[in-house]
Structures are given as structure tokens and as C-alpha cells.
Amino acid sequence: MPKRQRDLQGVGLAWLNRFAGSKTLERLKLDKPAEQALYQASRTGFKVAGMAGRPFKVVKDLLSPARLDEARRYELFDLSLTDDQTMLVESVRRFAQELIRPASADAETHMEVSEAVWKGGFELGLALMAVPEILGGAATQRSPLNTALTAEALAWGDMGQAVALLAPVGVASALTAWGNSAQQMQYLASFASDNPPDAALALLEPQALFDPARPACRGAKQEAGGWRVSGEKSLVPLGYFADLLLVGVDLEGLGPRLVIVQGNAPGLKTEREPAMGLRAASLSRVKLDELVIEETAILGDAAAYSHAIALSRLAWCAVAVGTAAAVLDYVIPYVNDRQAFGEPVSHRQGVAFTVANMGIELDAMRLMLWRAAARAEQGQSFQREAMLAQRYCASKAMQIGSDGVQMLGGHGFIKEHPAERWYRDLRAVGLMDGGIML
């Protein structure tokens, strides 16, 4: 089978060490003045309103699905990053610092990620992370850990933009892990193309106490084969202009499954769904009205569905860790500079102990995430670890978000500082399902 030639831009994240990100980032820097102009030509600008979606052509011949190897079981307790991971984190962190963070307020106002940031993410090779080499991607091994490290570093820049950038990565991961060869041929290779699709995982529904294991979005079996699906999905990143969605649906006779829905499918309606935070992620309501699902559109089995839920929650843990780290990094110099009663406020235990607890819980969150992700990576059970990590991150990240505002006092409450945005963004961690996944 002929191996597709990758162009230089398309080389993946961990493989970035070959050119150490320098060229890419220099280019990003040069592009900076053009950022404002590019905003006019933003994502949605390219798309005819209401006509999201695009054709997916079969570009590869695969006799069997391209799967990634699982990492080997490791016998020692270890918390060191590999050299590749160190490079990866450094590159993504630089991207986050130089491009994402400065764009945060604008992206929030426009409720979408600027074309410059999309471009930066593309050049970093984000879309290639989860696509196997045989399909033009850069992945050789399934690595929830690498995705977690990437997610953390991106979210340190801005959580909303990170969610937008990560949403297609999650879909590619799902297609790689569970797609059959036909599905991979049709969809997966496009993630490694010059124009990767806007895609997201749609699990959450607009109802209190929603349980993703029991979606209200249902498919009624048709005599002629296939299902007619109706229901609503909520807070889907990139939803209203997505080319591709993986939707959680309870299929009659089968149970809950992920199904592949193209952005231009008849019966699919999308609209903006602005929320408390994560506005840069273009959160959307997705409505399915008698949408026809063929058997060929079902992605994976019941186990894949529950894995997707757990891996999605871990992705939210990862962006929570990155955002909480951003809060702490911002608060420390602030409380050291801010004077009250003739000395820095950090000289008071009420402030200092709050900072100490933010640091302790941040580290604990990260370790819990790492353990669950490492177990997933090594093919061990991780349901328990993911659940514990999710509960822990949900509560501690929100506490850190709240403390972040508190440590700045009134200044934390106004938009001059990012603390209030982090507060709003971090509220999502405890309630999100889907959107992104490791």
C-alpha cells in the first residue's frame, strides 16, 4: 500500500522535535500582526450559514481498520515525562503562551477561535495526533497521556479555545480506536489533510441530572433498515458549523451507541448555545429530527460507548488541570505584588494558606488524571480511576477557580483580569460529558 507523503506542515506533535517547533513558532510570531485581519475571515466566514458540513471522500484503501498499539505495561512507579513528551509540552505551552492566551478575550467575544489560532494548532499538528501513520497522521501508539498533556498545556492558554482545538482530536481518536475500515477510509484520513474537519463528540443533553449512559436521544428502528433518530444534544463545541459529529444515541434493539453524523445531514439542526463560559468553544445546541442513521454509521460497540464517556471526562480533567495551573500562576505574582496594611497580602496566612491549598490540590488533580490516563494507555481498567479523577477535578478545580477570583478581591470580579473567565470556564468541568475526549 503506497504511503501517503506528508508535507512538512503536517508532521505531528510529538514528532515536532525534528524541527523543535522553532520554524513553526517563528512563523506564528510573524503572523501575529495579521491576527486581527484574519478574524474577519473567521471559521464561520468560510461556511455558508446553515450549510455546515462538507463531503467526505474515501481517500484510502484499508483492508482492515488501522489501530494503534497499546503501550506496554510498565513495572515501576514513575512520573517522568519521556523526551518526546517534554518536547510536546514545551511546544504546546509556547503556542498557548504566544497565541492562545493573548487571543482569549477576543475569542470569547467572537465566540469562536480565530483563524490564526486554528492555523497555529494545525501547524503544531494537533489534528494528526490521533491519526495513524498509514492514514497520513503521526500517531504510532494510542496515547491518552499525550493528549492529556497537550490538553493541559493548551488550556493553560485558554480553556475555551483549548476545547475548540481539542474537539476534532477527540473525534479522530474515537475513529482510530473504534472505527471500521470503511469509516476510517471515509472520515479519518481527512483529519490528516490540509483542511481537517471541524468535529466534536456530542453526548450531553439539555436536562437536569443527565446520565450519558441513558441518552434521551433515541433511534426508532425502521423496517427498511436503519433508525430514525430524534433528540437534542447540548453544549457541543463547534456544533453549529461542525462537519462531523459523533452523537450518543439510544438505538432501539442495540442500546446507547456513538453514531457518525455529517454536518449537512438532513434532519440535523444546529444553533449557538452561549453559556456561562467556554464561549470561545462555539458551544452549540444540536437537534436531530427524524435523522436517518444507517447501520454503517454506528461507531463501535457498547464498550466503546462507555469508554468514550470515561475518556471524555478525563479530557475535562486535563483542561481543568491546565486552567487551574493558569489560575495559580496568575495569583502568585498578584498576591506578592499587592500591598495591604503595609506589606504584600501574601504575607498573611489567610492568603498564603489559600495559595498553598491551590498548589496542593492542583498537583493532586494532575496525579489522579495521570494515573487514569496511564492505565487507559496501558490497556488496564480505568473506570474507577477516571471516575475518582473526574469527581476530584470537578470539585477542586472549581475551588481553585473561585479562590482565584477571591485572591484578587474586587479586581478578580472585573474583566480586566482573566480570573473571572477562569471561574466561569471551570464551572463546566463538573457537568460536562462529551465535547472532547482523550
Partner 1 sequence: MISPEEPKKFKLLVHQAQQVAAEIFRPNSRKYDRAEHEYPKELDFLSALMDGMNAGGSRGAGAAGLSRSVPSTQGTVNGANMSTVLGLIELCWGDVGLALSLPRQGLGNSAIAAVANEEQKKRLAGCWAAMAITEPGCGSDSAAIRTTARREGDEYVLNGEKIFVTAGQRCDQVVVWASLDLRKGRAAIKSFVVAKDNPGLKVLRLEHKLGIRSSDTATLLLENCRVPAEALLGSPKIDTKQGFGGAMQTFDNTRPVVAAMGVGVARAALERARDLLEDAGMALDYAADRWRIPAAVATYYELESEWEAARLLTLRAAWMADNGQPNSLQASMAKAKAGRMATQVTLQCAELCGALGYSEDELLEKWARDAKILDIFEGTQQIQLLIVARRLLGKSSAELK
Residue 375 sits in the site that holds partner 1 (CB under 8 A): yes
Among 1, 48, 49, 76, which residue sits at the site for partner 1 (rule: CB under 8 A)? 76
Determine contact, residues 234/215, Cβ cutoff 8 Å. no
Binding segment for partner 1 (CB under 8 A), chosen from 12-20, 79-87, 197-205, 317-325, is: 79-87
Return the axis-axis angle of helices 419-426 and 159-178, rounded to nearest 10°: 30
Residue 180 sits in the site that holds partner 1 (CB under 8 A): no
Closest to partner 1 by CB, 36 or 86: 86
Residue 338 sits in the site that holds partner 1 (CB under 8 A): no
Residue 339 sits in the site that holds partner 1 (CB under 8 A): no
Site for partner 1 in 209-228 (CB under 8 A): 209-211, 213-214
Binding segment for partner 1 (CB under 8 A), chosen from 98-106, 170-178, 379-387, 397-405, is: 379-387
Please give the grid coordinates belonging to residue 180: 471500521
Binding mask 229-248 for partner 1 (x = CB under 8 A): --------------------
Closest to partner 1 by CB, 64 or 349: 349
Residue 306 sits in the site that holds partner 1 (CB under 8 A): yes
Site for partner 1 in 84-103 (CB under 8 A): 85
CA distance 331 to 400: 10
The residues, any chain, with a CB within 8 Å of residue 383's CB and separated by 6 or more, are: 306, 310
Closest to partner 1 by CB, 104 or 390: 390
CA distance 118 to 201: 18
- How close are the terminal C-alpha atoms of the chain, in Å? 29
Among 392, 397, 418, 432, which residue sits at the site for partner 1 (rule: CB under 8 A)? 392
Burial class (CB in 10 A: 0-12, 13-18, 19+), 350: exposed
Site for partner 1 in 106-145 (CB under 8 A): 145
CA distance 115 to 127: 15
Please give the grid coordinates belonging to residue 191: 483529519
CA distance 326 to 245: 30
Q: Kindly state the DSSP code that residue 414 receives in the 8-state scheme.
A: S
Among 138, 203, 374, 376, which residue sits at the site for partner 1 (rule: CB under 8 A)? 374
Residue 378 sits in the site that holds partner 1 (CB under 8 A): yes
